[in-house]
Amino acid sequence: MVKIRLRRMGAKKQPTYRFVVTDARSPRDGRFIEIVGHYNPRSNPKTVVLEEDKIKSWLSKGAQPSDPVRRLLAERGLVERGPIPQTKRASKASAT
């Protein structure tokens, strides 16, 4: 399966990320097929640069975005944000 995910770059304690298309079995910072953008969470405001035509092409070929990538792509309107799973909370009456 082909995935679009973030590859960590940058120095220690100063992360920047690249959006890469890779095989799902590859390590996080291992081999990749193509770089399709970059993300800097430390800048103010956060910088996201995407090659939208390449991303749309890979999505049409069946590439699956990881959860953080899906969130960032949804902010740009490239994919729909999926439903947020609800967790069950224990009530105080049953806890005591």
Q: What is the pLDDT of residues 33-62, one digit of tens each?
A: 999 999 999 999 999 999 999 999 999 999
Predicted confidence (pLDDT) at residue 16 exceeds the cutoff of 90: yes
Give the closest residue to 6 by CA, choosing from 18, 16, 14, 15: 18
In the block, tokens 């590439």 appear at 63
Give the pLDDT confidence of 86-95 residue by residue, as tens digits. Answer: 777 766 666 5
Identify whether 37 is part of a domain: yes
Number of domains in the chain: 1
Mean pLDDT across the chain:
88
CA-to-CA distance for 63 and 41, rounded, in angstroms?
A: 24
CATH number at residue 50: 3.30.1320.10
- The boundaries of the domain holding residue 47 are 2-76
